[in-house]
Amino acid sequence: MTLISVGVDHEHASLEFLERTTVLEEEWSKVLRSLVIHRNIHEAVFLSTCLRTEVVAVVDRFHGAIEEITATLAEATGLAASEFADRLTVHFDRGVATHLFSVAAGLKSVVPGEFEILGQLRRSLELAHEEQTAGAELTELFRRAITTGRRVRNETAIARGTTSFAQAAVSMAVQELGEQIDGAHVVVVGAGQLATGVVKSLLVARPQLATLTLSNRTIARAEALRESAGDARVVVAPLEELTENLASARLVIVAVEVASPIISLSHLESCSQPIFIVDLGLPRAVESEVGQLPNVRKVDISDLRTQVELALDGRHEAADEASQIVLEDVEKFMDDQRERGAAAIVSELREYFDEVVASEMKRREAELADMSDEQRDVVRSLLRSVVAKIAHRPTIALKDAAGMDQGIRLTEATRNLFDL
The DSSP output letter for 156 is S
| d(C-alpha 295, C-alpha 57), whole Å | 48
Q: What is the dihedral of CA 122, 127, 128, 132, to 10 degrees?
A: 140
CA distances 420 to 131, 349, 350, 415, 416, Å, are: 30, 8, 11, 5, 7
Other Cβ atoms within 10 Å of 37 Cβ, number: 9
Q: Are 226 and 288 in contact (CB under 8 A)?
A: no
Longest Cα–Cα distance in the chain:
108
Hey, what's the torsion of the CAs at 99, 149, 330, 25, to 10 degrees? -40
Is 333 in contact with 156 (CB distance < 8 Å)?
no
Cα–Cα distances (Å) from 280 to 49, 90, 289, in that order, read 11, 27, 16
Residues recognised as catalytic: 50
User: How far is Cα 234 from Cα 226, in angstroms, rounded to an integer?
Assistant: 6
Distance CA 206, CA 229 (A): 17
User: Whole-angstrom Cα distance, residue 149 to residue 100?
Assistant: 10
